[in-house]
Amino acid sequence: MDITRRRFVLTSMTMLAAPKHAWSGEPCADWDLWKRMFLLPDGRVVDTDNGGITHSEGQAYGMILATAFDDQATFELVWRWTRQTLRREDALFAWKYLSTATSGAVAEWNNAADADLMIAWALLRAAERWARHDLAEEAKTVASAIARLLIVEEPFGLVLRPGLSGFQFPDRRIA
């Protein structure tokens, strides 16, 4: 993990761990800086150290952080882009989006289970924070898709697949 990516993750986790009273109900300077560095006006969270690509995990972090900072407008912006651009027909999310100077497109339609879980969690947090039944239903839809499509029975018990495609091996087990 390089320095910029490490800074992104550490800043995100530090902000989540900060006590609520430290924010005084207003987004703090770190949150504003995070948005300036990683969030585009359309709601896409960019990996600035990886050619400006977008990952479903980054979108999930943006949604989680928005709930932590009680920033409903940013949450809605990130969720709208995520839902409209990365959501698949099965309610999981494509994990990789590439952008060029003139357009953008999903580059990898396979999902990433960690992002799907974090998106469901972010939706649930938002539903509770802002009393939004519609977001609770969205969280339930994503969680149901995870349970239905990604949890598999192995001889030693249930396993969460990292993604729907590419993690089924006839000669070995997922661990």
H or E element, residue 58: helix 56-68
Structural domain for 23, as ranges:
3-160
Q: Taking a C-beta distance cutoff of 8 angstroms, is the pair 111, 95 a contact?
A: yes
**What are the tens digits of pLDDT across the range 156-174?**
889 899 999 877 767 666 6
CATH code of the domain covering residue 108 = 1.50.10.10
Query: How high is the pLDDT of residue 102?
Result: 62
**What are the tens digits of pLDDT across the range 47-105?**
999 989 999 999 999 999 999 999 999 999 999 999 999 999 999 999 999 987 566 79
The residues that are catalytic are 57, 114
Q: CA 79, CA 73: separation in Å to the nearest integer?
A: 10
Query: How high is the pLDDT of residue 21?
Result: 44
Q: Is residue 108 part of a domain?
A: yes
Rounded mean pLDDT, 32-61: 96
**pLDDT higher than 70, residue 39:** yes
Q: Is residue 85 part of a domain?
A: yes
Q: Is residue 75 part of a domain?
A: yes
Q: Is residue 174 part of a domain?
A: no
Structure pTM?
0.82
Q: How many domains is the chain built from?
A: 1
Q: Are strands 94-99 and 104-111 parallel, antiparallel or unpaired?
A: antiparallel
